[in-house]
Amino acid sequence: MDTILLDETLDNECYLYRQDQFESKVRSYPRKLPFAIQSAKGAWITDVEGNEYLDCLSGAGTLALGHNHPVVTESIKQLLDSHLPMHTLDITTPLKDKFSEFMYELLATSSDEYCLQFCGPTGADAVEAAIKLAKQVTKRSGIVSFSGGYHGMTHGALAITGNLAPKQDIEGLMGSVQFLPYPNMYRCAFGLPFEQSIHAHMHYFENFLKDAESGVVKPAAVILEVVQGEGGVNPAPIEWLKHVRQVTKELGILLIIDEVQTGFCRTGRWFAYQHADIDPDMIVMSKAIGGGLPLAVLGIKKQYDVWQAGNHSGTFRGNQLAMATGLATLNYLKDNHVAEYVSKIGTWFMSQLKMRQQHYPKIGQVRGRGLMIGIEIINPSLPKQNDGSYPADSDAAAKIQQACFKHGLVIEKGGRGGTVLRLLPPLNITKDELQQVLQRLDRALEDNR
């Protein structure tokens, strides 16, 4: 097996060259993280040359427990020994029953019950299902989304995604989509200080939907991320979230919360919307729900489950292996009180990063919730903008990310122009490992003073 997996005559450069020969130009991560991975355990990655890296990307948040956690690998072995089929379409099994029971009880509140829709294996497919269902429920076609939001790369999901780059030269995206500005803790779309900005966003949102002269027909749904991930780790203000829920309820507009990256303890709660104590009409879930394997689930308030059989289907919605790894991960998160741990360790880690903000002028802001953290990189030599922020510096952010990689730290960039360094470490990362993350980040920042 080792001989098959590792050709000792090839180094990182050779593997990357071969990848360039085999694969489309669409690949992205190897351009920023130029290595070939040989093995991984927990928060650590080892490349084919034996170099070790601390992984603060975690498969874009998919690997809640890091790489190859024992409860995950053991669940795979147990499934292989059980003789269950790998895929069952939407036919149930004892395993699926246990997984569904866990999720059903997790989503239930004192006033609402949610049913589960198993979708194709990506978050984008669950988003597509949510959009279609909202249109069926309301008999309306419009969707309101937000600048900076990311919901996937399929046609409908791309139409409601804020990033313009993947939309270039793509004709005929889903129509009747309206974008509104999303609150940003550092940069206000209205050019206002943050305290004033929240109320400006609240007023604009309500007026946009209620003004008889706005030109906008009442939409079927509003979709948002409680903490924007790809958009630059922007946490929505609690007051604004409550207001959005209030207005959408008043107007009979469904609220879809995209928890693909924020779900399952990433922000210090099981779901990010719980920070605001609101009740979404639909909850989009993927990434960590599958314990590292592809799985996507849509939570639907039962009164809105108006599907007819087969209205939204997909071959791989019965991925038993992902349900096994997902259930093992969910049980571990619950039994080990991981949400509480993430809240506590995340607060400490954020405080350490904010201390570095005082030392490194290129750090404009540190923000996030739990272990979903963003560091906005700025150019402090330029004049401040109207809202008090300094202009972003995408070149400096790219150089810091490259320096992090050189010092053995894997991180991602996000936000407008890629100016926000994003950290998504495993949820069970230790304090000692986070200290090492800080040390490696310090070296990268020193390299780019």
68 found inside a domain: no
State both tokens at 215. 């030109």
Please indicate, yes or no, whether residues 300 and 155 belong to a single structural domain of this protein: yes
pLDDT, residue 4, reads 53
168 found inside a domain: yes
Q: What is the mean pLDDT of the chain?
A: 95
pLDDT, residue 5, reads 62
pLDDT, residue 1, reads 42
Residue 385 near residue 397, CB atoms below 8 Å: no
Residue 186: pLDDT band with limits 50, 70, 90: very high
pLDDT, residue 193, reads 87
Rounded average pLDDT over 426-447: 98
* 309, 335, 361 - which closes a domain: 335
Rounded average pLDDT over 168-193: 92
pLDDT, residue 449, reads 83
Please indicate, yes or no, whether residues 185 and 158 belong to a single structural domain of this protein: yes
Please indicate, yes or no, whether residues 329 and 360 belong to a single structural domain of this protein: no
* 335, 366, 391 - which closes a domain: 335
Could you give the number of structural domains in the chain? 2
Please indicate, yes or no, whether residues 123 and 144 belong to a single structural domain of this protein: yes
Please indicate, yes or no, whether residues 189 and 287 belong to a single structural domain of this protein: yes
DSSP 80-121: HHHT--SB-TT---HHHHHHHHHHHHHH--SS--EEEEE-SS
- What residues are paired with 421 via a beta bridge? 375, 413
69 found inside a domain: no
pLDDT, residue 102, reads 98
Residue 386: pLDDT band with limits 50, 70, 90: confident
**CB neighbours (10 Å) of residue 323?**
28
Rounded average pLDDT over 210-216: 91
Tell me which residue of 327, 313, 400, 413 sits closest to 71, measured CA to CA: 327
Range with the poorest average pLDDT among 4-8, 26-30, 420-424: 4-8
Q: What is the CATH number of the domain that holds 205?
A: 3.40.640.10
- What residues are paired with 365 via a beta bridge? 376
> Pairing between strand 44-47 and 254-258?
unpaired
Please indicate, yes or no, whether residues 321 and 356 belong to a single structural domain of this protein: no
* Environment class of 133 (CB within 10 Å of its CB; exposed 0-12, middle 13-18, buried 19+): buried
Give the pLDDT confidence of 258-310 residue by residue, as tens digits: 999 999 999 999 999 999 999 999 999 999 999 999 999 999 999 999 999 99
Enclosing H/E stretch for 338: helix 338-359
3-state secondary structure of 255: strand
Give the pLDDT confidence of 9-22 residue by residue, as tens digits: 789 999 999 999 99
Give the pLDDT confidence of 27-66 residue by residue, as tens digits: 999 999 999 999 999 999 999 999 999 999 999 999 999 9
Amino acid at 277: D
Domain limits for position 54:
2-62+337-447
Q: What is the CATH number of the domain that holds 382?
A: 3.90.1150.10
Residue 3: pLDDT band with limits 50, 70, 90: very low
Rounded CA gap, 262 and 241, in Å?
15
* 283, 306, 335 - which closes a domain: 335
- What's the farthest any 2 CA atoms get from each other in the chain? 69
pLDDT, residue 195, reads 82
Please indicate, yes or no, whether residues 112 and 243 belong to a single structural domain of this protein: yes
Residue 265 near residue 287, CB atoms below 8 Å: no
Residue 8: pLDDT band with limits 50, 70, 90: confident
Please indicate, yes or no, whether residues 126 and 232 belong to a single structural domain of this protein: yes
State both tokens at 354. 């904010």
Give the pLDDT confidence of 56-96 residue by residue, as tens digits: 999 999 999 999 999 999 999 999 999 999 999 999 999 99
67 found inside a domain: no
Please indicate, yes or no, whether residues 167 and 253 belong to a single structural domain of this protein: yes
3-state secondary structure of 221: strand
DSSP 45-56: EEETTS-EEEES
Please indicate, yes or no, whether residues 31 and 173 belong to a single structural domain of this protein: no
406 found inside a domain: yes
> Pairing between strand 409-410 and 52-55?
parallel
**Which phi and psi angles does 254 have, rounded to 5°?**
-70, 140
Rounded CA gap, 183 and 201, in Å?
7
Give the pLDDT confidence of 309-340 residue by residue, as tens digits: 999 999 999 999 999 999 999 999 999 999 99
Please indicate, yes or no, whether residues 359 and 240 belong to a single structural domain of this protein: no
DSSP 128-165: HHHHHHHHHHHS---EEEETT----SSHHHHHT---SG
274 found inside a domain: yes
* Environment class of 400 (CB within 10 Å of its CB; exposed 0-12, middle 13-18, buried 19+): buried
Please indicate, yes or no, whether residues 41 and 22 belong to a single structural domain of this protein: yes
| Residue 2: pLDDT over 80 | no
pLDDT, residue 299, reads 98
What burial letters (b/e) apply to 433-443, b meaning 16+ CB within 10 Å?
bbebbeebbee
Give the pLDDT confidence of 227-270 residue by residue, as tens digits: 999 999 999 999 999 999 999 999 999 999 999 999 999 999 99
